[in-house]
């Protein structure tokens, strides 16, 4: 691809921002940030793995542009999205004397983006922040749309705020240091956009998966199309009172699986989403809503990408169905105690179904344990 970044604009009125996707944006970040936010200081939040792999590039770029900055480095992994680390980040920003008009930079994957974004939402009653996503998942999903937050012992993402970034800088070369398992996990969210409402994108992914994984030109196109798809839902329904819930395809099951596996490396978010999307399709097929051949076709694609597709693929003993149902009952889409699921009529035909009977879900999960 050319050196010019692709720009996806998110026209949210006074909260509008650009997503820039380019080959070496980390090295250009100093000039870009100085141009867009003159005179501001920056508090970088990152994790230990990204600090080793990519932070030096960002620091060099900020130094070259004469930008004042400070850093907060946290452990890597889903466990970092916690109350304790929220306090660490907020207190760190205050200790660095960052002012309300200064900016937080979230440099990392979705964990850092969600945590640092939430810290920015509450420090000094709201600071601006910039997303610099370094995982595939963060470049196609979590850096866009303004959902920020942490996990609670009660469940996934149960504490947070909607807080849009002021800019997203997605550097394609950052993905060169990402572990293959993490790349595959991010790819589950890429596939999600095809499954929701764009079967042509899903078919294109089937054709281009190898090139996306090997880093050919299809990778930038896949990321840009994913960002454009997410932007469409965010514009239609910024705070998820309706259609944005479709972005939760596979997540009601996936989040419950993440909770019962302890928000750990046993099951990454994207892996939970891959299994969750398979369960959503299989459940829809069981209810007579969707063709079961679609479940097979999606499973073949996810498997070829190196993703788990069945409950049995999760290492270790899976918690009992009761524990899964307890986690599902804490889902944020629950209304007056009734479960909402994203179900489907087939590839690219997802829909929101309210009042799903818990008994049917539990029976289905019990069947799926042995499948």
Ligand X SMILES: NC(=O)c1ccc[n+]([C@@H]2O[C@H](COP(=O)([O-])OP(=O)(O)OC[C@H]3O[C@@H](n4cnc5c(N)ncnc54)[C@H](O)[C@@H]3O)[C@@H](O)[C@H]2O)c1
Ligand Y SMILES: O=C(O)C(=O)C[C@@H](O)[C@H](O)[C@H](O)COP(=O)(O)O
d(CA 191, CA 243): 18
Among 145, 194, 276, 346, binds ligand X (CB under 6 A): 145
- Hey, how many other C-beta atoms are within 10 angstroms of the C-beta on 246? 21
Q: Does 112 bind ligand X (CB under 6 A)?
A: yes
Among 30, 108, 346, 348, binds ligand X (CB under 6 A): 108
Name the binder of 251 from ligand X, ligand Y, none, CB < 5-8 A by kind. Answer: ligand Y
- The response to whether 9 counts as a known ligand-binding position is no
167-171 and 42-47 beta bridge pairing: unpaired
DSSP state of 99: -
Q: Per DSSP, what are the bridge partners of residue 19?
A: 8, 168
CB 78 within 8 A of CB 268: yes
- The response to whether 111 counts as a known ligand-binding position is yes
Q: Does 249 bind ligand X (CB under 6 A)?
A: no
For residue 329, the surrounding DSSP H or E stretch is helix 321-329
- The response to whether 113 counts as a known ligand-binding position is yes
Among 19, 32, 54, 183, binds ligand X (CB under 6 A): 54
Q: Does 58 bind ligand X (CB under 6 A)?
A: no
Is the Cβ of residue 73 or residue 273 nearer to ligand Y in the bound state? 273
Among 92, 109, 250, 308, binds ligand X (CB under 6 A): 109
Q: How far is the CB of 99 from ligand X (least distance, A)?
A: 25
d(CA 150, CA 86): 8
Is the Cβ of residue 92 or residue 194 nearer to ligand Y in the bound state? 194
Two structure tokens written together for 362: 């539990």
User: Measured on CA atoms in the order 237, 239, 244, 245, is the torsion positive or negative?
Assistant: negative
- The response to whether 163 counts as a known ligand-binding position is no
Q: Does 139 bind ligand X (CB under 6 A)?
A: no
CA 349 vs CA 44, 280, 293, 320: distances in Å: 40, 12, 14, 31
- The response to whether 303 counts as a known ligand-binding position is no
The footprint of ligand Y (CB under 6 A) covers 141, 145, 147, 157, 189, 240, 244, 247-248, 251, 332
User: Measured on CA atoms in the order 143, 199, 370, 340, is the torsion positive or negative?
Assistant: positive
DSSP states of 260-312 as a string?
HTTSSTTS-HHHHHHHHHHHHHHHHHHTTSS-HHHHHHHHHHHHHTT---SGG
Which residue of this chain has its Cβ atom nearest to ligand Y in the complex?
157
Residues with active-site annotation: 125, 147, 189, 230, 240, 244, 248, 251, 255, 269
Q: Does 238 bind ligand X (CB under 6 A)?
A: no
Q: Does 135 bind ligand X (CB under 6 A)?
A: yes
Among 50, 103, 224, 327, binds ligand X (CB under 6 A): 50
Give the binding site for ligand X (CB under 6 A).
Answer: 47, 49-50, 53-54, 76-78, 81, 108-112, 114, 134-135, 137-138, 141-142, 145, 147, 157, 174, 177-178, 182, 185-186, 189, 269-270
């Amino acid at each position: 691809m050319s050196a010019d970044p692709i720009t996806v604009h998110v026209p949210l009125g006074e909260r509008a921002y650009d997503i820039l996707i380019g080959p070496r944006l980390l090295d250009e970040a100093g000039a870009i940030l100085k141009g867009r936010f003159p005179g501001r200081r920056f508090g970088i939040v990152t994790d230990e793995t990204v600090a080793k792999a990519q932070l030096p590039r960002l620091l060099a770029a900020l130094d070259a542009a004469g930008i004042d900055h400070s850093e907060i480095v946290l452990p890597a992994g889903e466990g970092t999205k916690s109350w304790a680390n929220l306090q660490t980040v907020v207190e760190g920003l205050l200790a660095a004397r960052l002012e309300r008009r200064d900016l937080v930079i979230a440099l990392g994957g979705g964990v850092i983006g969600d945590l640092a974004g939430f810290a920015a939402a509450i420090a000094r009653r709201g600071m601006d922040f910039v997303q610099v996503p370094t995982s595939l998942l963060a470049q196609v999903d979590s850096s866009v749309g303004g959902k920020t937050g942490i996990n609670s012992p009660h469940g996934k993402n149960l504490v947070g705020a909607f807080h849009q970034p002021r800019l997203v800088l997605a550097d394609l070369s950052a993905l060169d240091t990402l572990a293959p398992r993490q790349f595959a996990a991010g790819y589950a969210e890429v596939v999600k956009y095809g499954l929701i409402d764009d079967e042509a994108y899903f078919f294109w992914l089937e054709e281009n998966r190898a090139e996306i994984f090997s880093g050919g030109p299809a990778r930038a196109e896949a990321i840009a199309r994913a960002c454009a798809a997410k932007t469409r839902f965010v514009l239609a329904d910024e705070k998820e009172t309706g259609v944005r819930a479709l972005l939760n395809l596979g997540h009601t099951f996936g989040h419950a699986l993440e909770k019962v596996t302890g928000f750990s490396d046993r099951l990454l978010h994207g892996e939970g989403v891959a299994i969750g999307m398979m369960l959503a399709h299989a459940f829809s097929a069981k209810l007579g809503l969707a063709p079961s051949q679609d479940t097979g076709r999606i499973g073949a694609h996810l498997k070829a990408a190196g993703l788990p597709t069945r409950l049995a693929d999760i290492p270790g003993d899976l918690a009992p169905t009761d524990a899964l149902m307890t986690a599902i009952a804490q889902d944020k889409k629950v209304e007056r105690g009734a479960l909402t699921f994203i179900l489907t009529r087939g590839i690219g035909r997802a829909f929101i179904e309210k009042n799903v009977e818990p008994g049917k879900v539990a029976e289905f999960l019990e069947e799926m344990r042995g499948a």
